[in-house]
């Protein structure tokens, strides 16, 4: 894949609580790019459906999903360290054992750490829309990305996207409708209703306050 960054590494100081959560809980929940390819059953100590979320932000919705669906294993990827610290704090407070975290570039994690055919779901909720036309090339949903993650999904596994930018929703639909080896679960050109199990995120609330709509897309790997 061509290496055009789809994110900006935001600066921000961790609170004392977030740093303490990192110190205490990273050894239990943190995963390292340098350790290479994982065995999910070994990482979690069990066989279970595996969900990976790219860019979980402050992590509140990911923790909520992991709490509400304990039968699933969750891996989150986020480069913003205060968000990682907050997620680790909340996950530990909830006593969750079904969540693990990378604080790395998602493209590198997918390539080097996630086994082919291992994911039941890949979630990408409210990624940076790069709304200026000259920045559209930075959007993470591109043809090469669609094929890179297809390898990681099981047959029948789902790539679930959500955005509050209509132009980005249209871009996602165009890219994924043309992507080989996928089927739109809702039918050609159709967006999905928001599933009950996807929490309303901070970014979604902000978008709705600004008068934005919200679009979910769910594409299943067919081959």
- Catalytic site residues? 128
Look at residues 49, 149, 142 and name the one whose alpha carbon lies nearest to residue 107.
149
| Joined tokens for residue 106 | 């998602």
Q: Dump the DSSP string for 14-54.
A: PPHHHHHHHHHHHHHHEE-GGG-S--HHHHHTS---EEEEE
Angle ∠(28,202,92) on CA atoms, nearest 5: 20
CA distance 208 to 80: 24
Q: What is the DSSP letter of 62?
A: H
What backbone phi and psi angles, to 5 degrees, belong to 160? Answer: -110, 120
CA distance 205 to 217: 18
Give me the helices (H) in the chain, please.
16-29, 40-44, 60-68, 81-94, 106-113, 143-152, 166-178, 202-209
Name, in order, each residue with C-beta under 8 angstroms of 29's C-beta and a sequence gap of 6 or more.
88, 91, 92, 99, 100, 101
């Amino acid at each position: 894949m061509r290496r055009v960054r789809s994110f900006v590494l935001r600066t921000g100081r961790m609170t004392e609580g977030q740093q303490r959560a990192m110190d205490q809980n990273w050894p239990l929940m943190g995963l390292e790019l340098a350790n290479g390819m994982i065995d999910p059953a070994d990482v979690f100590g069990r066989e279970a459906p595996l969900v990976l979320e790219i860019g979980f932000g402050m992590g509140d919705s990911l923790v909520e999903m992991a709490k509400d669906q304990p039968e699933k294993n969750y891996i989150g990827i986020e480069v913003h360290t205060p968000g990682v610290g907050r997620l680790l704090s909340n996950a530990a407070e909830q006593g969750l054992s079904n969540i693990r975290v990378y604080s790395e570039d998602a493209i590198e994690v997918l390539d080097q750490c996630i086994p082919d055919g291992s994911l039941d779901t890949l979630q990408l909720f409210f990624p940076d829309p790069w709304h200026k036309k000259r920045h559209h090339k930075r959007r993470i949903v591109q043809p090469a990305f669609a094929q890179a993650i297809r390898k990681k999904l099981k047959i029948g596994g789902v790539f679930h996207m959500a955005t509050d930018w209509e132009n980005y929703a249209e871009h996602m639909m165009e890219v994924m409708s043309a992507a080989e080896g996928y089927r739109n679960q809702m039918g050609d050109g159709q967006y999905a209703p928001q599933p009950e199990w996807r929490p309303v995120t901070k970014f979604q609330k902000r978008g709705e306050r600004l008068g934005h709509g919200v679009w979910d897309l769910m594409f299943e790997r067919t081959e």
